[in-house]
Structures are given as structure tokens and as C-alpha cells.
Amino acid sequence: MTRSPLEGTRILSVSQFGAGPFGTQVLADLGAEIIKIEDPGVGGDSSRYVPPYQHGQDSLYFQSFNRGKKSLTLNLQHPAGQAVLHDLVKVSDAVFNNLRGDLPAKLGLTYDALKDVNPRVVCCSLTGFGTTGPRAAEPAFDYLIQGYAGYMTVTGEPDGPPGKCGVSVIDFAGGYAGMVGLVVGLYDAQRTGIGRNVDISLLDTAVSMLSYFAIWALNREWEPQRVAHSGHQTLVPAQNFPTRDGWIVVFCNKDKFWQALIERMGLPELGRDPRFTGFPDRFAHKAELVAILQSRFVEKTTAEWLALLRGHVPCAPVNTVAQALEDEQVRAREMIIEVDHPQFGRIREVASPIRTEGEIRQPAPAPALGQHTEAILTGILGYGSQTIARLRAEGVIGK
């Protein structure tokens, strides 16, 4: 059996909802042991109770972010809970959290609080606004950050209200950024024997992804606008077009794709039209060009256009979620995995996008609340039954 690339790596995770659990699940899929620390006093991770598909202390929402992890109930605000945390830190590689920016220090989850316990430990915080700055103590969610970072002003139709991306893209990007930061910290700790703090925020992540929008706006007084049919800010044609039975996305970011498009659409005369010669010309006469292309695209179905254009012009159907999950490339890449769950039965989920030897292809389902508490305390820390009973009686661990 092939060894997983992160086998033997133990990460303590104090995180809930989407961003943090999404990121740590990527590491779990690569073989890391993720011990999910949940507060017994509040019923654990709040995402256990997210509707509509919820059963007791579990939900399909929770399952989508927490497969392959272990659940330990532990009250970190209790002095005895901090003692258990320190015992775990001694035998762990990293401590991860996605709390409010002021809470990691208060709960003793920073490197300054833990370096004397384990000088190699990496402490990664994925917060809404970071652990510094005027809004560090404020809670934040994907919805709010899309507003703060300007995403909503460039999403949607020009005559419509600001729009949110339909997928929690900042949560997920923040999860990935957090895991990159955590793994970088682990790599350096392996070389030096010294851990560190890693400070990631959703706002920083979102702002970093403004990328070329930001450099244009910062240096040339450029202001992006919402573009009809999800069009590109500067490239033409690069947008959605209605077809006879749906929509197609076309992205001509090179002149050779423009030439192939007009040839395969039966519009070679557009290549001789001075209004459409180069990118600046097509941008200057966008309204005329788009009108011509729209009138041609509605003559055929999406499938017919794909058959004509695919392999010559960058193009794609505008799929529903169900259609996306049935796409032949998605299936060929085995992006749908099956997990057996005691209540929900066999669950189909999307896999990690990282393909490498040793990845976990048959993971355990996300754990029940506190499912691994005793196993962790006895098997990893060597606690006896009397100690565990005392911790339970004091409310340090769950019932």
C-alpha cells in the first residue's frame, strides 16, 4: 500500500463552518491526522446543524467539510482544557484555527503561548480580518468579504444590483491559502526545529485575488465595471452568449482564437472588417460585434456550437450544478467519491483536486461529535479512566 504524503503529520484544528474545515480536509485527504477540537458546551461545530439535510448532530453540510477527521470535545476556556491542549501540542506538528482575530491569543493558540510546550509547533490562524488592525476582533464571513473586497461591484449585470458569486469562493480560497501557509511553516520547522505563527485572513486573500484589477486601479486610475453577459473587462469577444437552447461561454484571449471563431461560425468577412482587426478595435466596437455574434449564436444549440468550436476556440457550456457533476471530464478525473455514513447511507462527495500518489480515495465520513475523544486521550496521551472521568465530570470534555 502506498504511503500517503502527509502520513504521520498531526494537526490540531479549532475551526468550524466552511473556510477552515475546507482547508484542513484537503490535508486529511493527503493523509494528515486532523484532530478536530469541538466545544462540548455549544454542541461542537455549528455546521453540524446547518439545514436542509440535517440529522441530530450531523448534516450533509458538515460532511462536506470534515471527512477523514477525528473529533475531540474539549473546553479550551477551562484550565484543565488548556492542560489537555498542551499535552496534545507536545505530540503534534501544528495548531490551526479559524476563529475571530482576537481569539487565538485569548485561547492560547498562538506560537507565543505554545512555544515552550513544543518549540517546533506551527500555529496557523485563518481569520476574517487578520490578527492585527482595527477590525481584528470582528467576525467575518464570505458574504461580508465579497462586499468589502469589491467583488460584488464587478459581479452581475450592469443594470442590476451588486451580485455575490454563487459559490463561497473566498471561504475556499482562504482555506487553500491557510493550508499553503501551514505547510510552509511545517517545512521550515522541519529544517530549523523552530515553529512560527502563520497569519492568514479572508480579506487579505480576497484582496490578493484582485490581482490585475488592483494593479490597473492602483496605477492607472482604472475602475472596473459590471459587464453584460459576464463579459471580460477588456477582451472581446470573451463572454456568455445565448444559444437556441441555453448559453455558451467563449473566451478569445488570443488573436488565433478570434480567427478560428469567425471561420467556424461562417463569418469570415468579420476578419476583413477594420472595426474588428485587433483587440483594441474589437473593444472600441464591442456593441456592434457582440450584436453580430449574438444573432449567429442563437441559430444553433449549445451542443451544436460546442461540436463546431471545441478544440479550436476556448468555449464551454453554462452547466447547471447537476450537469457539471456529470461532466465526462469530471467523471474521468474521478472527482466524485463515495463515503459510507451510518445515518445518511452512501454519500457521494466531491474529491480533493490534488492528484498525487498516496492520496486518500476511500476516506472515513466526518466524525460524530466527540467520537474519538476517549481514543485520543487514552491512545495518544495515555490518560487513565479516572482522569477521563474527572475531565468529563468537570465539563472539560463532552458526555
Which alpha helices (DSSP H) does the chain contain, by range? 19-29, 60-66, 79-90, 103-106, 111-114, 142-148, 169-192, 202-208, 211-220, 255-264, 279-284, 286-297, 302-309, 321-325, 328-332, 373-375, 385-393
Check: pTM over 0.85? Answer yes or no. Answer: yes
Which of the residues 171, 204, 245, 340 is marked catalytic? 171
Domain ranges of the chain: 10-208+332-393, 228-318
Listed as own residue / partner, the contacts of 140-149 with beta carbons closer than 8 Å and 24 or more positions apart are 140/202, 140/203, 141/17, 141/171, 142/18, 142/19, 142/168, 142/169, 142/170, 142/171, 142/202, 145/170, 145/202, 145/203, 145/206, 146/170, 146/206, 148/203, 148/206, 149/203, 149/206, 149/207, 149/209, 149/210
**3-class DSSP state of 217:** helix
Is residue 93 annotated as part of the catalytic site, yes or no? no
3-state secondary structure 152-182: HHHCCCCCCCCCCCCCCHHHHHHHHHHHHHH
Q: What is the pLDDT along the chain (399 residues), one digit of tens a residue?
A: 689 999 999 999 999 999 999 999 999 999 999 999 999 999 999 999 999 999 999 999 999 999 999 999 999 999 999 999 999 999 999 999 999 999 999 999 999 999 999 999 999 999 999 999 999 999 999 999 999 999 999 999 999 999 999 999 999 999 999 999 999 999 999 999 999 999 999 999 999 999 999 999 999 989 999 999 999 999 999 999 999 999 999 999 999 999 999 999 999 999 999 999 999 999 999 999 999 999 999 999 999 999 999 999 999 999 999 999 999 999 999 999 999 999 999 999 999 999 999 999 999 999 999 999 999 999 999 999 999 999 999 999 998
CATH architecture of 10-208+332-393: 3-Layer(aba) Sandwich (3.40)
Q: How far is Cα 195 from Cα 182, in angstroms, rounded to an integer?
A: 10
Confidence at residue 174, expressed as pLDDT on a 0 to 100 scale: 97
* pLDDT value of residue 399: 80
Burial of 356 (0-12, 13-18, 19+ CB in 10 A): exposed
Residue 1: what pLDDT? 61
Q: How far apart are CA 376 and CA 380, in angstroms?
A: 5
What pLDDT is stored for residue 27 in this prediction?
98
Fold of 228-318: formyl-coa transferase, domain 3 (3.30.1540)
Name the nearest CA neighbour of 108 among 186, 14, 32, 195. 14
Measured in degrees and rounded to the nearest 5, phi and psi for residue 346 equal -80, 115
